[in-house]
Amino acid sequence: MLKNKPGQRLAFLPGADVARLAECLVAFANGDGGLIVLGLDEDGRATEDIWEEEAEYALREAAALCRPPVPTHWQPVEIGQGALVGIQVPRSPDLHSLADGRILIRSHTRNRPLVGDEVRHLAATKNSAEFETDAAPGARPSDLDQEVIGDYLEQREKRGGAPIASTADLLYEIGAADRDGRPTTSGILLFGRNPQMFFPQSGLVFVKFMGTEPRGEDGGVGYGRRDELTGPLARIIDRAWNIIFEEMRVGAQVNNLEREEVTEYPRFAVREALVNAIAHRDYRITGRRIEIRMYANRMEIISPGGLPGYMTLDNLVEEHFSRNPRLVNGLFQWGYIEELGLGIDQMIEEMVNAGHKPPAFKAAPHSFTVTLSNKRERAAMPRWTRNMNERQARAMAFVQESGSITNREYRQFCPDVSAETLRLDLADLVERGLLLKIGAKKGTYYILK
């Protein structure tokens, strides 16, 4: 916990402040849930000891400000820095508000109030999440593949998952089976022997066209390759990735005297778009499967179902909301999702750093499309720029070309960003040993270290 920074599913509060605690409870419950830690500042430093009686009182008072009350689990935690309290907030099937009427969701590190259509969309999506825990019609425990479950348990343990009393208990805990052991929708999709027998729409179709339009080599209707993928979701991801990699062009470049393999599309961007399509599609929509269309100049990954909840194209990078929280958590524990809520911005970063245009996103009422272009608009950024934001990468490229950069020059190609943010960008590059600060005040400039 202490290695992570506050974000979409983690909040640090320095004290047992009732009002701030209530805001976090509502925001997490309305989203994908999360962990609130009392006794830490935003940088993860201990502020004051939080005693159990104090936390219990604050949590009781905060719950009274929530409509309806938010269910939680909490426990004290002793660390070298002091006594903390961790409060686990599960995703709730209800729509929660504060006593003053505000409906909040978690937006990266802040709790943002929803307005207008956002509230209606979130309320509609809340109900759809229960589809995951409905018993799959006609499914029996024997329809789950024990080999696939074993693979999941192995990967879950590697990621530090908590010990389990039994496989049956775990399947119930993660929503893959009900109390009687009957497989649920998410259980069949994750671990089923033949999920498509129950949900034919859960497969994937890969099609490769030789040109830039959906036509064959002779200009007529046709394609160069077509594959229909079936099986549990993890197997579909693996098979789809293998097919895409087979069809991607692979080259090489020399970087710092080392030969590097260069793929037609950045690996992470492709895998993230693929996993997102499978994790977030609307499995209630029948008659449509996920489609991957590879053209000569682009790749399109089309997922049935529009954006869930309050999500829009404008907040896609900063915010996160799962239509299928149990599927998402299952794929996260399996290792197919690196970190919850951080995929889209990394996908964009990988594309830009490799010299491509950012991914294009298209949201329709009943589908969502990610388009990756294979055209490189400029040379790929050096490997050591990969952990920077786009502004910092541009600053480093400017220093490489011109030999130095000043605050004024930085502001000229980032005119919409505050001067303080840009100053912190440069200070971060100095702290990381990439730039050297020369001079002081108005005479300050930066060179490569």
| Model pLDDT, residue 45 | 86
Give 122 or 259, the one with higher predicted confidence.
Answer: 122
Average pLDDT, the chain: 88
Tokens of 147: 């080999």
299 and 270 in contact (C-beta within 8 Å)?
yes
Asked if pLDDT for residue 257 goes beyond 60, the answer is: no
| Model pLDDT, residue 250 | 78
Q: Which fold has domain 384-448?
A: Arc Repressor Mutant, subunit A (1.10.10)
Asked if pLDDT for residue 252 goes beyond 60, the answer is: no
Asked if pLDDT for residue 389 goes beyond 80, the answer is: no
Q: What is the pLDDT of residues 108-117, one digit of tens each?
A: 889 999 988 8
Tokens of 445: 């400039």
Q: How far are the Cα atoms of 26, 49, 98, 161, 429 from residue 19, in angstroms, in the given order?
A: 11, 19, 10, 32, 37
| Model pLDDT, residue 220 | 65
Selection from 282, 334, 344, 312 nearest residue 154 by Cα: 334
Give 300's pLDDT tier (boundaries 50, 70, 90). Answer: very high
Average pLDDT over residues 344-373: 90
CATH code for residues 201-373: 3.30.565.60
In angstroms, the CA 417 to CA 394 distance is: 14
Average pLDDT over residues 380-397: 72
Asked if pLDDT for residue 377 goes beyond 80, the answer is: no
112 and 105 in contact (C-beta within 8 Å)?
yes
Give 216's pLDDT tier (boundaries 50, 70, 90). Answer: low
**Alpha helices in 32-184, H assignment, sequence order:** 52-64, 117-128, 146-158, 167-173
Whether omega for the bond prior to residue 68 falls within 30 degrees of 0, making it cis, is yes
Asked if pLDDT for residue 184 goes beyond 90, the answer is: yes
What 3-state DSSP class applies to 372?
strand
Asked if pLDDT for residue 255 goes beyond 90, the answer is: no
Q: What is the pLDDT of residues 407-420, one digit of tens each?
A: 888 988 788 788 88
In this prediction the pTM is 0.77
- Please state the three-class secondary structure of 415-443 as a single string: CCCCHHHHHHHHHHHHHCCCEEEECCHHH
Q: How far are the Cα atoms of 96, 115, 322 from residue 30, in angstroms, in the given order?
A: 6, 14, 11
Asked if pLDDT for residue 282 goes beyond 90, the answer is: yes
* Architecture of the structural domain at 10-113: 2-Layer Sandwich (3.30)
Give 30 or 44, the one with higher predicted confidence.
Answer: 30
Residues of the chain with CATH 3.30.950.30: 10-113
Average pLDDT over residues 194-219: 89
| Model pLDDT, residue 217 | 62
Q: What percent of the chain has pLDDT over 70?
A: 92
| Model pLDDT, residue 419 | 84
| Model pLDDT, residue 251 | 67
Q: What percent of the chain has pLDDT over 90?
A: 53
Q: Which of 295-299, 374-378, 391-395, 434-438 has the highest mean pLDDT?
A: 295-299
| Model pLDDT, residue 26 | 97
Q: What is the pLDDT of residues 141-160, one digit of tens each?
A: 999 999 999 999 999 988 87
Give 260's pLDDT tier (boundaries 50, 70, 90). Answer: low
| Model pLDDT, residue 350 | 87
Average pLDDT over residues 31-42: 91
CB neighbourhood size of 154 (10 A): 11
Of 74-88, 99-113, 255-269, minimum mean pLDDT range: 255-269
| Model pLDDT, residue 439 | 81
Average pLDDT over residues 301-315: 90
Give 369's pLDDT tier (boundaries 50, 70, 90). Answer: very high
Of 154-158, 256-260, 373-377, 442-446, minimum mean pLDDT range: 256-260
Residues of the chain with CATH 3.30.565.60: 201-373
| Model pLDDT, residue 116 | 85
